[in-house]
Amino acid sequence: MPLDVTTLFIVATCVTALLGLFLLALWLQDRSVRALGWWAGAYIIGGTAVALWLLGPRISAEISDTLAPALLFVCCGMIWTGARNFHGRRAVPLIATAGTLIWLAAGAAIDLHARDDLRVVLSSLIIATYAMMTAIELKRERRNPRKARGRAYALAALHGALFLSPIVTMHFIPDDPPGLSQGTFALFALLTLLYVVGTAFIVVVMAKEQSVLVHKTASMTDPLTGLFNRRGYDEAAQRLMDRQIRGGEAITILMFDLDHFKSINDRFGHDAGDAALRVFAATVNRNMRAGDIVGRLGGEEFSAILPGGLEAAMVVAERVRAAFEKAGNVIAGRAMAATVSIGAFSGPAALHELTELRAKADAALYRAKQEGRNRVVGEAEIPGGAGTIVATSAPSGATSPAARPRRVAAG
180 shares its domain with 243: no
Which of 219, 241, 259 terminates a domain? The answer is 219
DSSP three-state, residue 309:
coil
163 shares its domain with 299: no
124 shares its domain with 103: yes
Model pLDDT for residues 27-79, shown as the tens digit of each residue: 888 777 788 888 899 889 888 887 887 776 677 766 667 788 888 899 889 98
Q: CB of 206 within 8 A of CB of 144?
A: yes
Q: Closest Cα partner for 204 from 339, 23, 13, 12?
A: 23
d(CA 349, CA 340): 26
244 shares its domain with 174: no
Pairing of strands 301-307, 250-258: antiparallel
Which residues partner with 253 through β-bridges?
305, 345
Q: CB of 130 within 8 A of CB of 80?
A: yes
Q: Does pLDDT of 131 surpass 80?
A: yes
Beta carbons within 10 angstroms of residue 323's beta carbon: 17
DSSP three-state, residue 292:
coil
Mean pLDDT of 147-174: 63
120 shares its domain with 255: no
Q: Does pLDDT of 135 surpass 90?
A: no
278 shares its domain with 201: no
d(CA 353, CA 393): 26
151 shares its domain with 241: no
150 shares its domain with 195: yes
Q: How many residues does the chain have?
A: 411
> Do the domain assignments include residue 224?
no
Beta carbons within 10 angstroms of residue 367's beta carbon: 19
> Do the domain assignments include residue 225?
no
At 107, is the pLDDT very low, low, confident or very high (cuts 50, 70, 90)?
Answer: confident
Q: Pick the residue with more confidence: 117 or 127?
A: 127
CATH number at residue 361: 3.30.70.270
Q: CB of 124 within 8 A of CB of 167?
A: yes
Beta carbons within 10 angstroms of residue 210's beta carbon: 20
Q: Does pLDDT of 2 surpass 60?
A: no
Q: How far is CA 82 from CA 34, 200, 257, in A?
A: 8, 12, 44
At 407, is the pLDDT very low, low, confident or very high (cuts 50, 70, 90)?
Answer: very low
- Of 60-69, 86-95, 170-179, 239-248, where does the model show the most confidence? 239-248
The answer for residues whose C-beta is within 8 angstroms of residue 326's C-beta and 6 or more apart is none
Query: Quick one: pLDDT at residue 206?
Result: 74
Model pLDDT for residues 244-302, shown as the tens digit of each residue: 999 999 999 999 999 999 999 989 998 999 999 999 999 999 999 888 999 999 889 99
Q: Does pLDDT of 231 surpass 80?
A: yes
Which of 219, 254, 270 terminates a domain? The answer is 219
- Of 67-76, 138-147, 151-160, 174-183, where does the model show the most confidence? 67-76
Catalytic residues: 300
d(CA 191, CA 166): 10
Query: Quick one: pLDDT at residue 225?
Result: 93
Tell me, letter by letter, the H, E, C secondary structure of 23-42: HHHHHHHCCCCCHHHHHHHH
Which of 156, 188, 219 terminates a domain? The answer is 219
103 shares its domain with 248: no
Q: Pick the residue with more confidence: 118 or 151?
A: 118
Mean pLDDT of 136-146: 63
d(CA 248, CA 315): 22
d(CA 232, CA 220): 4
215 shares its domain with 234: no
Q: Does pLDDT of 1 surpass 70?
A: no
State the greatest distance between any 2 C-alpha atoms of the chain, in Å, as a whole number.
Answer: 96
At 208, is the pLDDT very low, low, confident or very high (cuts 50, 70, 90)?
Answer: confident
**Structural domain boundaries, residue 10:** 5-219
Percent of the chain with pLDDT over 90: 36
Instruction: Please count the CA atoms within 13 angstroms of the CA of 159 that sit on its side-chain side.
Output: 26
294 shares its domain with 387: yes
At 402, is the pLDDT very low, low, confident or very high (cuts 50, 70, 90)?
Answer: very low
Among the ranges given (105-119, 132-146, 257-271, 347-361), the one the predictor scored with the smallest mean pLDDT = 132-146
Mean of the per-residue pLDDT values of the chain: 80
Domain count, the chain: 2
> Do the domain assignments include residue 100?
yes
d(CA 304, CA 255): 7
Q: CB of 234 within 8 A of CB of 60?
A: no
128 shares its domain with 187: yes
The answer for residues whose C-beta is within 8 angstroms of residue 117's C-beta and 6 or more apart is 170, 180
Query: Quick one: pLDDT at residue 320?
Result: 96
